[in-house]
């Protein structure tokens, strides 16, 4: 069955996003990038493109706990290289600009996990993690006295995780 130009363009947009992001992305992040924030592809068409790219072995899903992260395969890179010119230059530039501005935000959101919960004694446990698609680099739980402190730590983890991880690593390996 022959695919339409629009279907081909949708797949190429998804591949181009993966190429520029150069990080594993979860399903919701792909939809968020390609539609919610940019309106490049309608959600249904984006989901269809992702599914077809997985079946064609152009992107690959890796399980991380309950979620799946997707990455572009070498076949996907070859496909993009062959059909790169089918993406309008203005759209390629728009995607490149978007990725330049937002890549680290998506990376932090997916690699720096954080939550907190109230304990029976009224204190709060803050659970912070640094994860990669295939492993956990840091898993830290600690107790704080109140909700305000727990919430502050929770809200700032994405900004501070890399420097805290580096500090801990350096201090423990000295």
**102-145 tens-digit pLDDT:** 888 887 777 888 899 999 999 999 999 988 766 788 899 999 99
Of 109, 129, 155, the position where a domain reaches its end is 109
Query: Can you give the pLDDT at residue 16?
Result: 96
> Are residue 90 and residue 117 in the same domain, yes or no?
no
| Radius of gyration in angstroms for the set of CA atoms belonging to the chain, rounded to a whole number | 19
> Are residue 117 and residue 45 in the same domain, yes or no?
no
Spans of the chain, pLDDT less than 70: 1-3, 65, 133-134
Of 68, 94, 109, the position where a domain reaches its end is 109
- Residue 117's domain comprises 111-173
The residue written with tokens 């907190």 in the block is 116
> Are residue 119 and residue 156 in the same domain, yes or no?
yes
Query: Can you give the pLDDT at residue 14?
Result: 95
> Are residue 13 and residue 91 in the same domain, yes or no?
yes
> Are residue 42 and residue 78 in the same domain, yes or no?
yes
The residue written with tokens 């803050």 in the block is 126
The H or E element spanning position 39 is: none
Contact 64, 87 (CB under 8 A): no
Q: How many domains, in total, are found in the chain?
A: 2
Query: Can you give the pLDDT at residue 119?
Result: 95
Contact 10, 48 (CB under 8 A): yes
Of 85, 109, 133, the position where a domain reaches its end is 109
> Are residue 105 and residue 115 in the same domain, yes or no?
no
- Residue 138, Cβ neighbours under 10 Å: how many? 15
Query: Can you give the pLDDT at residue 133?
Result: 64
| pTM across the whole model | 0.71
Query: Can you give the pLDDT at residue 1?
Result: 47
- Which long-range contacts does 158-162 make (Cβ < 8 Å, 24+ apart)? 158/108, 158/109, 158/112, 158/114, 159/108, 161/108, 161/111, 161/112, 161/128, 161/130, 162/112
């Amino acid at each position: 069955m022959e695919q339409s130009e629009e279907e081909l363009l949708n797949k190429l947009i998804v591949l181009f996003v993966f190429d520029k992001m150069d990080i594993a992305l979860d399903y919701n992040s792909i939809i968020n990038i390609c539609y919610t924030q940019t309106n490049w592809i309608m959600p249904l068409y984006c989901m269809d493109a992702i599914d077809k790219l997985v079946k064609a072995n152009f992107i690959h899903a890796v399980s991380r706990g309950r979620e799946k992260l997707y990455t572009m395969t070498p076949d996907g890179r070859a496909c993009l290289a062959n059909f790169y010119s089918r993406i309008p230059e203005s759209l390629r530039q728009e995607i490149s600009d978007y990725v330049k501005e937002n890549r680290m935000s998506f990376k932090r959101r997916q690699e720096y996990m954080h939550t907190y919960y109230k304990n029976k004694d009224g204190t709060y446990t803050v659970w912070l993690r640094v994860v990669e698609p295939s492993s956990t680099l840091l898993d830290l739980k600690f107790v704080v006295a109140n909700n305000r402190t727990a919430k502050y730590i929770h809200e700032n983890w994405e900004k501070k995780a890399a420097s805290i991880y580096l500090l801990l690593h350096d201090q423990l390996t000295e």
